[in-house]
Chain A
Amino acid sequence: MSTLTLRRRPLVLRRLPGLQGLGGFLLRRMVSAVATLLAITVIVYAVFYIVPGNVAQITCGERCSPAQVHQVAAQLHLDDPVYQRYWDFLRGIVAGRSFSTGTSIEHCAAPCLGLSYRSDQQVTELITAKLPVTGSLALGSLVIYLLLGVGTGLLAAWRRGRVSERLLTGLTLAGTATPVFVIGLLLMIVVCGQLQWLPFPQYVPLTEDPEQWAWNLLLPWTSLALIEAAKYARVTRAAILETLAEDHVRTFRAYGLSERSVLGRHALRGALAPVIALAANDFGSMFGGAVLTETLFGLPGIGQALVSAVNVADLPVVVGMVLVTGFFVVLANLVADVLYAVADRRVVLV
């Protein structure tokens, strides 16, 4: 079983430091991750195979003649049976592939995810170009919404049931209830347009200018954070209330600790597990799911590229990018499990 089990057997002296057996755990997870990713590619291939739209015509252009369309179809191997195409795709990942640029043969080294129908770029190159953007977006917003969400969750748990808590909840929920393109645009209009506090976001690579990188991403981060924070606030609040009912919290109250340290140190710590799990999921899905944020802020990331690839039926790009986003989801969950075991030593990695 490749998951976590929290053993709740008291009265037991267990000399099992949480991270023992990490190697075996990672190996097992790796195998299942590969299987998961393989399944994802099959699903995406199958789904996009049925999606209507004459791929050759779309790729060739509106006014291509039937003869040209046939040429393009042959060029892209669209006439091959779907299993053949899938097999070629798999082979490309393991052994690389070769493509004709017309004047020469281009080798796409393993792991080769194929060539974009639309731009003839190697999908792996495309992904490497876009990954830093999406990664920056995901990572930065993760930090902000964790701080914001867990913070307000803590505050909400502290003021539970009071008017101030309802207000706080209302504020954070306003974020959840508003689509990102509304929050983002309003923020941009006000912060960049009217107040001119920040530049209109424009991606600057971290390696180029870290300071500009951060300033330009601040708004996208904040917009995402405002939306996600409520979820974390809710989960944190619920988990804290759950922990507050536990006996060890009573101990610290009985030892004169203030409500603040009871909440901030003891109850919050117990709330970490669900927050970590949630953050892992969100962080992973951010790689494929920040479509709207990327579109709105003009960040050339994976999500935006994915949507446009879907629109022009660029199957290699779609499959490649879904595979990569899937990879990050799986990775994030794996990291979460390990973090979880570090945070709570009672957890045994199985």
Chain B
Amino acid sequence: AGPKDKDEGAKGTPHKGGTLTILNTEAQTDFDPARLYTSGGGNVPSLVFRTLTTRNRANGAAGSKVVPDLATDLGTPSKNATVWTYTLKKGIKYEDGSPITSADIKYGIERSFAAELSGGAPYLRDWLVGGAGYPGPYKDKKGLDSIETPDARTIVFHLNKPEGEFPFLATQTQFTPVPRSKDDGTKYENHPLSSGPYRVISNENDGEHLVLERNRYWSAANDTQRKSYPDRIDVRSGLDSAVINQRLSASQGTDAAAVTTDTNLGPAELAKISGDKSLAARVGTGHFGYTNYLAFNPKVKPFDNPKVREAIAYAIDRSSVINAVGGTSLAEPATTFLPNQEAFGYTPYDPFPAGKSGNPKKAREVLAEAGYKHGITLTLTHANQDPEAGPEIATAVQDALKKAGITVKLRGLEINQYRDAYKDVKAEPGFFLARWGADWPSGGPFLAPIFDGRQVVKDGANFNHAQLDDPAVNKEIDAINKLTDLNAAAKRWGALDKRISAQALDVPLFHPVYKRLYGKDVKNIVISNWTGVLDVSQVAVK
């Protein structure tokens, strides 16, 4: 049946009301603002938790911008961007009607340091003065001196180094206000106090089934970002991804008003959808700052030889790797480490051109230069069960390198073992599959953890896989961090990326593309480049 009126379909006018169903694979575990590790405040979490700043809810590149949320602006830097001051909006309230104060934001940040509430991002620990050794408010009642709350609406952060991107950090849920009187430690996640448009009605089995309903005390007047059309939001998880896509494509009953925040269309489904116009119209496409790459540990032979790394870079067949993850509609070939978005300072380059499907001839030559005329045998470490670092990609790499005379042996590890191995400088494999996603759309959280020499962690989780400690690189990172002009910073991140790439410390493979199906009653689709997926705070189901 054709559309009955023009309000039908994704393009129709959004209305308030109805229930939005979210069908997910992964449970929304740890629904505690201290424990969540989100980019830009997360999708479902940001319906309940407001933060000092938040991501701009807009389509495409505009969505990569950071905008004020609880705060009146993006913050005032001082002392060379080592001190950041925020003022809260007036009239903001919790779900119980009590006012939100700056002390609550301070407390919310402090409790994220508690061992009981582990899980968040590392930036607060690294940036705040005294953050590294602070055990959280349960053990240390004094609190963090580096966060000041001179009055109920003002909050001041003292950083131990210049950080021009602090407004980005302030989007994370750790910046959600939590009143000390309501804090019940690990139990808080069951009924966290809402500052956003929805409050938690029930949270079954650690986020397996979440029901959210309107928060009466939230007001659109002081929240320009969240639309909150539906009355009720029902998050169901633990579903199989194929089933989620089947349900969304069948789109019957409550599934007509359903979306998913974590499940991509698979290749087989894409193959089917490509022949079905009405279905294809219900697919949202998004880009998230993310790169999948081959990582080297130059401390391990023969990867200490740059020529070997280059040869691999020449030999790689990006189209079969892309096929392995679902073809050109689910991945774009990557030659740069930074994602191909302006916000990251994307600067195109291709130091070791491999073309679409590899340049085995050139690879052989380089390999010969490296002293391996008759080929070489390498071991590629990957995870056994992981769509992004799993055997599918590994075997595609294996097959591509075969043509260049490189025999690849696969070493598949169980996921925990794999993670332990590649993050441990002592056990790090020489050659493995890796990926990096942005904590916010900027080069900083992309390049610093991977190439900053001071971030090589010797006795814990290390992400600087090349263990690169190049004073010039370190210096440039520090310099860019000082900039509060984010556009200027982006350009310099791009340039730094290109400079590092000459060393062939990694081989970028692809940037994933998100293709997500949504139900036939879902309207007002907004997909920003920040998250790459449709924003649940914007959709309407009526």
Contacts and interface: CB of A to CB of B under 8 A. Distances in A.
Same complex: yes
Interface of A: 51-54, 57-69, 71-72, 74-75, 100-104, 106, 116, 118-121, 126, 129-130, 181, 185, 188-189, 192-193, 196, 199-200, 202, 295-300, 304, 311-313
A58 B457 contact: no
A71 B135 contact: yes
B275 interface: no
A120 B416 contact: no
A192 B30 CA distance: 32
A60 B119 contact: yes
A102 B138 contact: yes
A325 B29 CA distance: 24
Interface string B195-237: 0000000001110110000000000000000000000000011
A192 B246 contact: yes
Nearest to B237: A298
A313 B419 CA distance: 13
B interface, how many residues as a size bin?
A: 35 or more
Contacts of A192: 246-247, 250
B116 A100 contact: yes
A301 to B, nearest CB: 9
B185 A200 contact: no
A104 B185 contact: yes
Contacts of B255: 200
A66 B459 contact: yes
Contacts of A103: 138, 183-185
Contacts of A130: 205
Interface string B450-480: 0000000101110100000000000000000
A200 B30 contact: no
Nearest to A56: B118
A116 B208 CA distance: 15
Interface string B432-457: 00000000000000000100000001
Interface string B240-256: 10110011011011010
A63 B121 contact: yes
8 contacts: A51-B416, A57-B461, A60-B119, A63-B449, A65-B457, A68-B115, A185-B240, A311-B416
A298 B416 contact: no
Contacts of A64: 118-119, 122, 460-461
Nearest to A130: B205
Contact of A297 (B30, B138, B243): B243
B414 interface: yes
A118 B243 contact: no
B187 to A, nearest CB: 5
A69 B243 contact: no
Nearest to A102: B185
A199 B258 CA distance: 14
Contacts of B252: 196, 199
Contact of B250 (A67, A193, A313): A193
B120 interface: yes
Contacts of B125: 65, 68
Residue from the set B29, B121, B187, B460 with the largest chain A CB neighbour count within 10 Å: B460
Contacts of A52: 414, 416-417, 420
Given A52-B416, A102-B138, A71 B115 contact: yes
A15 to B, nearest CB: 54
B355 interface: no
Contacts of A126: 205
Nearest to B457: A66
B115, B185, B423: residue with the most chain A Cβ atoms closer than 10 Å: B115
B416 A53 contact: yes
A15 B132 CA distance: 79
A100 B250 CA distance: 46
Contacts of A62: 37, 419, 423, 461
A101 B416 contact: no
Given A103-B183, A119-B30, A296 B119 contact: no
A298 B238 contact: yes
Nearest to A103: B185
B190 to A, nearest CB: 9
B61 interface: no
Given A68-B115, A103-B185, A298 B457 contact: no
B240 A101 contact: no
A200 B243 CA distance: 8
Contacts of A57: 420, 423, 460-461
Contacts of B449: 63
Interface in B405-442: 414-417, 419-420, 423
Interface in B165-192: 183-187
B2 interface: no
B239 interface: yes
A196 B460 contact: no
B117 interface: yes
Nearest to A119: B206
A119 B118 contact: no
Contact of B243 (A101, A116, A188): A188
B114 interface: yes
A74 B115 contact: yes
B243 A300 contact: no
Nearest to A101: B185
A75 B115 contact: yes
Contacts of B423: 57, 62
Given A54-B420, A118-B29, A59 B118 contact: yes
Nearest to B415: A311
A53 B132 contact: no
Nearest to B122: A63
A121 B32 CA distance: 14
B206 A121 contact: yes
Name the residue among A71, A102, A106, A311 with the largest chain B CB count within 10 angstroms.
A102
Given A71-B135, A103-B138, 13 more contacts: A53-B414, A54-B416, A63-B463, A65-B125, A71-B118, A74-B115, A75-B115, A102-B183, A119-B30, A119-B206, A126-B205, A188-B243, A298-B240
A192 to B, nearest CB: 7
Contacts of B121: 63
